[in-house]
Amino acid sequence: MKILLSVTGGIAAYKAIDLTSKLVQRNHEVKVMMTPSAREFITPLPFQALSRNEVHIDIFDETKPEVIKHINLADWADINIIAPATASTIGKLAHGIADNMVTTTLIASTKPTFIAPAMNSNMYSHPAVQENMQKLSDMGYHFIDAGSGFLACGYIAKGRMAEPLDIIEAVESFQVTKQYNNDLFGKKILVTAGPTIERIDAVRYLTNNSTGRMGYAIAEAAQLRGADVTLVSGPVQLKVPNNVRFVQIESAAEMFEAVTTRMNQDIIIKAAAVADYTIERQHGKMKKKDEDFTLTLNRTQDILKYLGEHKTTQYLAGFAAETEQVETYARGKLVKKNADVIIANNVGDTSIGFKSDQNAVEMFFKNGASRKIEKMPKLEIAHEILTSIKQDMHVR
């Protein structure tokens, strides 16, 4: 998306730097505007460095005769974000006052605008400010509510600017809802994600390199498109997507139990990297010895195979993380596990492996068809996967 970020004059302006960085990391193109007051808190340089675009401040700085800057910016953006939004800027927009780069551009814009207020709690609750916010809401502006916490004034109260990731999720949710028109509404989808941990003793365990990012992206994308989503996850360092049922597990046995007791779904997408082997856990911590010792590994229950053998009307999707002969192994897994589709990726490629923010996959369907999805951010991959599954279900 093309995002026009407006930074106004509050102490929370420093958070806008992080917001810019995270937007760029999520493959959005960002241009930044600042009010004169914002420059009293932070310089334009960080925004320019992170966005790789000019920062716009002075409405009279017209360097290109062929365009009028504020009109050109207003037309360029897909989405406007004001973060932080002060009481002053909110009041100006509510009353049509265009006296700086930010207010002039936004009043000229016809694009969706998201406002993240940030101010002292007494200012936030003042009747005039609340009236202005209500007026803007009635006009179609979207507010991302302020949070509660420690404020610069020393109060612990409501008035903190929403966190950058919350702002991004609100914007992306709006855009996805608009793009896909809640096309998965009414569908029940179960997604598994992350690794499992197989305990050896009190301090040691067996695991793998899965970060859970692909599974979490699928859960997030499905929820944004209106699905009723359950996410079963091993231990990861990721924020749980909004509005999903979350089931935390640790071992392969726990994941088997969590998934097989929740099979009443329309779609099951098994993206987790479940351990193939486990070990009988030792009590306490095993002490180091001078000689070598041997661990005996026991096969875990094959969850995807079990689902394939016991499914009725469920659409079953599995993942195949391979390092060689990707198509051969994926098609073999498709038949062996009785899945409807296997989504394969080459984890030997570090640019799209477990720890990467991007992925590239190929989908192999039960009917013999296949679809290659080229390298892109994992959330976009997730949407492409869901679209292909929806199309395959419709064909069947």
- Position 135 scores a pLDDT of 96
- Position 256 scores a pLDDT of 97
- Position 147 scores a pLDDT of 77
User: Is the CB of residue 348 less than 8 Å from the CB of residue 354?
Assistant: no
- Position 61 scores a pLDDT of 84
- Position 136 scores a pLDDT of 96
Size of the chain in residues:
396
Q: Class assignment of domain 181-395?
A: alpha beta
pLDDT > 70: percent of the chain: 97
* Per-residue pLDDT band at 353 (split at 50, 70, 90): low
Helix (H, G, I), strand (E, B) or coil at 166: helix
Helix (H, G, I), strand (E, B) or coil at 93: helix
pTM equals 0.74
Is 333 labelled a binding residue?
yes
Structurally, at CATH architecture level, domain 2-174 sits in 3-Layer(aba) Sandwich (3.40)
Give per-residue pLDDT as tens, 245-304. Answer: 999 999 999 999 999 999 999 999 999 999 999 998 888 888 888 888 888 899 999 999
- Position 379 scores a pLDDT of 87
Q: How many CA atoms lie within 13 A of 339 on its CB side?
A: 29
Q: Mean per-residue pLDDT for 198-212?
A: 91
- Pick the more confident residue, 150 or 387: 387
Q: Which residue has the tokens 């005996």?
A: 296
State the DSSP string of 16-71: HHHHHHHHHHTT-EEEEEE-TTGGGT--SHHHHHHH-SPEE--TT----TTS-HHH
Is 337 labelled a binding residue?
yes
- What is the chain's mean pLDDT, rounded? 92
User: Is the CB of residue 55 less than 8 Å from the CB of residue 120?
Assistant: no
| Strand-pair category, 156-160 with 147-150 | antiparallel
Q: Mean per-residue pLDDT for 114-119?
A: 95
* Per-residue pLDDT band at 78 (split at 50, 70, 90): very high
- Position 157 scores a pLDDT of 64
Segment of 87-96, 142-151, 318-327 carrying the highest mean pLDDT = 87-96
Q: Mean per-residue pLDDT for 370-375?
A: 93
- Position 24 scores a pLDDT of 95
Does residue 16 surpass a pLDDT of 70? yes
Segment of 61-75, 166-180, 321-335 carrying the highest mean pLDDT = 321-335
- Position 355 scores a pLDDT of 67
Q: Tell me whether the CATH fold assigned to 2-174 matches the one assigned to 181-395.
A: yes
Give per-residue pLDDT as tens, 32-42. Answer: 999 999 999 99
Any bridge partners for residue 34, and if so which? 7
Segment of 161-175, 250-264, 355-369 carrying the highest mean pLDDT = 250-264
Integer Cα distance of 61 and 134 in angstroms: 33
Q: Mean per-residue pLDDT for 49-61?
A: 93
Which H helix or E strand runs over 192?
A: strand 188-193
Does residue 158 surpass a pLDDT of 90? no
**Taking CA 279 as the corner, what is the angle to CA 273 and CA 281, rounded to the nearest 5 degrees?**
120
Catalytic annotation, residues:
153
Neighbours of 45 (CB within 10 A): 9
Does residue 348 surpass a pLDDT of 90? no
Segment of 58-72, 117-131, 157-171 carrying the highest mean pLDDT = 117-131
Integer Cα distance of 213 and 284 in angstroms: 32
- Position 96 scores a pLDDT of 96
Does residue 177 surpass a pLDDT of 90? no
Domain ranges of the chain: 2-174, 181-395
Give per-residue pLDDT as tens, 320-339. Answer: 988 889 899 999 999 999 99
